[in-house]
Chains A and B, each alone.
Chain A
Amino acid sequence: MIVKRLIVGPFNRVEGDLEVTLDVADGTVRAAYVNSPMYRGFEQILQGKMPADALVFVPRICGICSVAQSAAAAQALGGAMGVTPPANGRLAANLLLAAENLADHFSHFYLFFMPDFARAAYCGRPWFADAEQRFRALTGSAVGPALPARAAFMHLMGLLAGKWPHTLAMQPGGSSRPLQASEKIRLYRLLREFRRFLEDTLFGDRLEAVAAIDSVAALEHWAAARAPHASDFRRFLGIAHDLDLARFGRGGDCFISYGNYPQDAGRMFPAGVWDGSLRLLDTDDIREDVSHAWYAQAEGPQHPAQGATVPLADKTGAYSWCKAPRWAGRVVETGALARQVVAGQPLVRDLLASGGANVMSRVVARLIEIARVLPAMEAWTEQLRPGEPYCVVGEMPREAEGEGLVEAARGALGHWLSVRRGRIHSYQIVAPTTWNFSPRDAQGTPGALEQALVGAPVGDGEEAPLAVQHIVRSFDPCMVCTVH
């Protein structure tokens, strides 16, 4: 068996820098090594800063998950200070995080993922002409209108956060932007405007009808009810069926979600781990392994509250700036698929039961989540009570610990803060794509993407195999968060 090595990079239409090394034999990927090739050192930058200054730095880890980073920091700081936002502050935070997550899913679909089906390599497929004119990068007929629709939706950020990315409106005690009664109407109207685009163009159906699809059979029935060109989701389903995308990128069987969108009681999407049954999530079971990452080695994998980040560019055997987080020693996958399976969405549960995590189920889970969350945003807007407080204040003790756990678009994002003598002593971040794109751990177990790439078909002469591109992008990686 002749093994050929392919190095795929720059891997574009992902956020940030990614290089994937593939060992290929007999037209199949036998092993994959995922390299995050850029290091900036936010955890080092934050050391010694005043705790509240984290609110300036951490959103700037990532321009696409900026609000999620702010939310995790606000939560970690709030925990350390012992403050809880009032109801208005909680609703504002939910609206901001939901807007970013939905905008990211939307951008992923139209800008990052679908353009691959407009590649000339697919010119023989029956759907190609339609996909090519619709999804071609930069000039496709879907891409142009998607941008103003997204920009109009992001007016929510102008209203509630001042700007996006990189707001300081998310505070440990709530929101700095008290929305007034007439502004609630503006907010509601812009949500309805985005709903119209989603229903007319992306789904070709009511959001509630899409969110109610409860099985693979029901999804097939829904797709067949109208022609593929009736909506972009149906287009995707048609392509996915023809290319059998469900057989690409089979992931592992363990999924993690920190849960999202706190309500009066519990969260709209609860936290948990799914491995065929639902398990309670205890973050004490998280460890980060740096055996194959360019960092100085501590004694074994560390919990993030004890972790350190000491770059070591010449370390032997290392091949990435990404650490390798593990839950109870296991490789886990995170993202919309994990969030929805933990939350018990019936279609996503059925997709996992029938074909596991794969290119198709990851994309479907994201779109289902859009359909579920936008109606909730409309409801949260109605629940805002102008005149009641949006923000409370608190004091940061000179010695304190805090943990911030949120679900960014791409999955579980955790911040671990410790304050000593009034300053940041340690600030460790484990981002969603740190989970998904981790390198091997000390046992040699490959990370989630590394496992998902094994078995991917490689055509003759393919240097950046299309199957590999679909698999990588199905995770919607954010590489700037990954390493930070």
Chain B
Amino acid sequence: MNLLWLQSGGCGGCTLSWLGAEGEPLFVTLADEGIELMWHPSLSEQSAGEARALLAACVDGRRPLDILCVEGAVLRGPNGSGRFHMLSGSGETMLSWLRALAARARHVVAVGTCAAYGGVTAAGVNPTDACGLQYDGDAPGGLLGADFRAGGGLPVINIAGCPTHPDWINETLIALARGTLLHEDLDDFCRPRFYADQLVHHGCPRNEFYEFKASAAKPSDQGCLMEQLGCKGTQAHADCNTRLWNGSGSCLRGGYACIRCTDPGFEEPGHPFAETPTVAGIPIGLPSDMPKAWFIALAALSKSATPARVRENAKADHILRAPTVKKAGR
């Protein structure tokens, strides 16, 4: 299978994340799975005319296009012209190139939340009228329209994340190359379910603090970030705390809130990112599938049961009080 990767209204961070893939060299993995990296703007030898010729051959069908990966949002402005991003050297908008190439591709993959839903590029006043390949925020549509199906029969596969995780890309591409990624393997926002059926909360190292609602008050505190510092890990669809980033990391392990970056619209949460909006002290965003009354009841109960160790450690940047060591025979 060949793979063409293009970048539009984004930061290139998903490519950089991808290059941090663990284990054997990335290009060895791809080759071993029969994936030929036909062209990537950061990595391939071919420049200028050589690259344009390759894209043109894909558009007119002289060269089959198995997987089209797009990183970055589609820029529709100004005034629907797409001129906020011209594919350099071509005199054409990237928007028109993407539309033409998607029509030829067997699979279309949106790499990252920008390409999937618009993402950060669509934030604020959305200066460039940015959208995703098949979504405009959480509304189906985007560049290609809700009914779009690639040659292989699937809608656009949204490897959402800001950035996305290198394994999410590789495991999706490998499943496509093996023919094992089916429509039912995508969730309601067309994200691969192998990671989107998980919650960031799963495997959170702050879980004991969460259980007792022992909360951090400031960055660098060890406590739970949900109650005050904006964390949405209990609602966010991803496996960040079981898969881990750059060896041993995750947002929570880095000491800061999950901002739910795999979701459409995460860029405009309607409140400061690092503050939890509450009504009468209760967070508006409750853990997934948890009835509010139960959350309130459990929170009140667990707070009253919080061990001093957990309460004190929550507001410190190192362990003040270690768990008691039980001696045998006592």
Binding site for B on A (CB under 8 A): 7-19, 35, 37-41, 44-50, 52-53, 55-57, 60-64, 66, 107, 111-112, 115-116, 118-119, 136-139, 143-145, 147-148, 150-152, 154-169, 171, 173-178, 180, 311, 313, 386-387, 389-391, 393, 463-464, 469, 480
Contacts and interface: CB of A to CB of B under 8 A. Distances in A.
B219 A159 contact: no
A40 B249 contact: no
Given A166-B163, A390-B317, A53 B254 contact: no
Contacts of A61: 11
Contact of B246 (A10, A53, A163, A311): A163
Given A19-B88, A165-B163, A180 B318 contact: yes
Given A14-B42, A64-B12, A159-B246, 13 more contacts: A10-B89, A10-B90, A37-B87, A44-B124, A45-B124, A62-B11, A63-B17, A143-B27, A147-B26, A147-B27, A151-B22, A158-B253, A391-B218
A8 B220 contact: no
B83 interface: yes
Interface in B251-296: 251-257, 259, 272-274
Contact of B120 (A35, A60, A64, A168): A60
Contact of B43 (A47, A63, A138): A138
Contacts of B89: 7-11, 19
B274 A52 contact: yes
B247 A60 contact: no
Given A151-B20, A168-B274, A63 B256 contact: no
A47 B23 CA distance: 42
B238 to A, nearest CB: 12
18 contacts: A10-B52, A37-B88, A38-B9, A38-B85, A40-B9, A40-B127, A44-B127, A60-B13, A63-B13, A63-B14, A111-B42, A119-B45, A138-B43, A151-B22, A154-B246, A161-B246, A163-B246, A168-B259
Contacts of B52: 10
Nearest to B121: A40
Closest 6 CB pairs of A and B: A162-B254, A63-B13, A9-B89, A9-B88, A158-B249, A41-B127
Contacts of A144: 25, 27-28
A177 B255 contact: yes
B220 A176 contact: yes
Given A158-B247, A480-B11, A147 B19 contact: yes
Interface residues on B, range: 35 or more
B145 interface: no
A136 B44 CA distance: 9
Contacts of B147: none
Given A19-B89, A50-B272, A52-B273, A12 B49 contact: no
Contacts of A167: 254, 256
A161 B254 contact: yes
A148 B25 contact: yes
A115 B44 CA distance: 9
Given A38-B84, A49-B124, A57-B120, A177 B254 contact: yes
Contacts of B188: none
Interface string B225-264: 0000000000000000000111111111111110100000
A162 B44 contact: no
Contacts of A162: 245, 249-256
B220 A107 contact: no
Contacts, number: 283
Contacts of A148: 22-25
A17 B94 CA distance: 11
Interface string B68-106: 000000010010010111111110001000000000000
A35 B12 contact: no
Contacts of A49: 124
B44 A12 contact: yes
B223 to A, nearest CB: 12
Q: Count chain A CB atoms within 10 A of each CB in B43, B87, B121, B255 and give the residue with the most.
A: B255
Contacts of B48: 8-11, 463-464
A151 B19 contact: yes
B51 interface: yes
Nearest to B316: A178
Nearest to A159: B248
A159 B249 contact: yes
Contact of B47 (A62, A147, A311, A469): A469
Contact of B44 (A9, A138, A166): A138
B307 interface: no
Contacts of B19: 107, 111, 147, 150-151
B134 interface: no
A135 to B, nearest CB: 10
B173 to A, nearest CB: 15
A237 B125 CA distance: 49
Contact of B45 (A17, A136, A173): A136
B81 A313 contact: yes
A395 to B, nearest CB: 12
Q: Count chain B CB atoms within 10 A of each CB in A63, A119, A159 and give the residue with the most.
A: A63
A35 B91 CA distance: 12
B21 interface: yes
A144 B27 CA distance: 7
B251 A313 contact: no
Contacts of A155: 246-248
